Amino acid sequence: MTTLTQTDTPWRDDVAVIGLVGLAHASSHFSHLLLPLMFPVFMKTFGLSYSELGFLMTVFFVVSGIGQASAGFVVDRFGARPVMYGSLLVLSLACVVASLAQSYAGLMLAAAMLGAGNCSFHPVDFTILNQRVSPPRLGYAFSAHGLTGNLGWAVAPVFMVSLSAMFDWRVAYLGAGLAFLSILLLLVWQRDALLTHVVDHKEAADGAHTLAFMKIPVVWWCFGFFFLSTMTLAVVQSFSVSILQAMHNVTFEAATMTLTAYMLCAAAGMFVGGFVAARWPRQSDKVVAICMTVAAVFMALCGSGLFDATATMVILAATGLAIGVGGPSRDMMIKKATPKGATGRVYGMVYSGLDVGFAVSPVIFGVFMDHGWYGATLLGAALVLLLSVLVALGVGRRTVQAA
């Protein structure tokens, strides 16, 4: 299989591809928060409990995880572009369903549709980036990809809360649906920049045939890395505000700002990480290991209770910076481990570990929180992150052996 990439591709062409793919990735992360942001409203409107609300997100990530593992096959067979278009259309329709929901069943349907719409973006995005962006600029592309994802998280609260305050929550969902539809129309207009080759199985390597790639051990090591590292992120997103309030008696606003600072530091880290990944592409696994080790130490310090509130909040924000720097190298590490012709399938399977981590982590560490083990929750998340370091180094060793 040949690729569309040339080493002498003009910067403007690569930037166009990176920008369009980044916009699509931002919309994926935007969809992650559409339901949680309205949980207080759902409790009042439908009389739901926290467990019922939490199960909505379980449905979202279970559907997304299963779909992501499968979407890669569709991407390799039919190309990334039509799958991207279909995903944005499903997200738009899911927002309409949410706006019309009259019961818990309606919200469940919206959650399932949002998960189905979200599932394909990683195999789609990385198939396009790997084929369309010049190899020397892939590190920057992966950096921008991670950065735009974080921006999608950042935009969602402002967008949804603002529309909900000006009108109501149903209008907010209709506005989100219109936003997805607008992005879809833009990407259709710029469709030439997103064209990818489909897999020719007669030309592809053995690892690309049907399910053969699943027999490659390094693929499952990559899956394990995403599963473990995402468990830690889920702890931060789900419980950090409550932990800071319980351990240090800080205000809700201060704790929430710390979570925002974590996300912004992660975005800044990804920007820096793009230059790191471009400078040391062959050492991507070691870069990831170093960054995750630093982040694990920072998180353990936060859970130790040795520092006051201000220092703990600063260190927690710095944890995001360390993880962010390793983000582009993480994506480079996966690229090196991917057999020729199986990009969509491998990225789909590997990144489904992200959905599994998001689904499993709140269940495990929620037990810690129920028992009041707030510091232990952060210490446990740090331990899981250290385990991901060992897995990242294992990915590097097995990639070299396979080569």
pLDDT tens-digit profile of 77-90? 888 889 999 999 99
Tell me what pLDDT residue 106 has.
Answer: 95
Answer whether residue 4 shows pLDDT above 50: no
Mean pLDDT for 214-225 is: 82
- What phi and psi values does residue 120 have, to the nearest 5 degrees? -95, -5
Query: For residue 107, which of 157, 68, 58, 154 has the smallest C-alpha distance?
Result: 58
Answer whether residue 336 shows pLDDT above 60: yes
% of the chain residues with pLDDT over 70: 90
Tell me what pLDDT residue 62 has.
Answer: 87
Mean pLDDT for 261-265 is: 86
Mean pLDDT for 127-136 is: 85
Q: What domains sit in the chain, N to C, each tagged with a CATH number? A: 9-192 (1.20.1250.20), 203-403 (1.20.1250.20)
Answer whether residue 343 shows pLDDT above 50: yes
pLDDT band at 344 (very low <50, low <70, confident <90, very high): low
Measured distance CA(279)–CA(262) in Å, rounded: 25
Helix, strand, coil percentages, rounded to 5, for the chain: 85, 0, 15
Measured distance CA(380)–CA(341) in Å, rounded: 38
pLDDT band at 400 (very low <50, low <70, confident <90, very high): low
Answer whether residue 212 shows pLDDT above 70: no
Are 99 and 171 within 8 A, CB to CB?
yes
Tell me what pLDDT residue 207 has.
Answer: 45
Give the residue, 72 or 96, on which the prediction is more confident.
96
Query: For residue 399, which of 131, 216, 230, 225 has the smallest C-alpha distance?
Result: 216
Give the residue, 359 or 88, on which the prediction is more confident.
88
| Greatest mean pLDDT among 107-116, 127-136, 202-211, 263-272 | 107-116
pLDDT band at 8 (very low <50, low <70, confident <90, very high): low
Tell me what pLDDT residue 403 has.
Answer: 53
Question: Whole-structure pTM over 0.85, yes or no?
Answer: no
Mean pLDDT for 173-202 is: 86
How big is the chain by its Cα radius of gyration, in Å? Answer: 20
Tell me what pLDDT residue 371 has.
Answer: 83
| Greatest mean pLDDT among 8-12, 138-142, 380-384 | 380-384
Measured distance CA(382)–CA(280) in Å, rounded: 26
Tell me what pLDDT residue 203 has.
Answer: 47
Query: For residue 21, which of 88, 67, 115 has the smallest C-alpha distance?
Result: 88
pLDDT band at 50 (very low <50, low <70, confident <90, very high): low
What rounded mean pLDDT belongs to the chain?
84
Measured distance CA(386)–CA(52) in Å, rounded: 32
Mean pLDDT for 361-373 is: 82
Are 153 and 260 within 8 A, CB to CB?
no
Tell me what pLDDT residue 205 has.
Answer: 47
Mean pLDDT for 312-326 is: 94
First to last CA, the chain: 18
Which has the minimum average pLDDT: 190-199, 208-217, 278-287, 307-316? 208-217
Distance of CA 334 to the CA centre of its chain: 14
Measured distance CA(56)–CA(46) in Å, rounded: 13
Mean pLDDT for 264-279 is: 87
Mean pLDDT for 114-142 is: 86
Tell me what pLDDT residue 130 has.
Answer: 84
Answer whether residue 208 shows pLDDT above 70: no
Question: Which residues have a Cβ under 8 Å from the Cβ of 82 and sit 6 or more positions away?
Answer: none
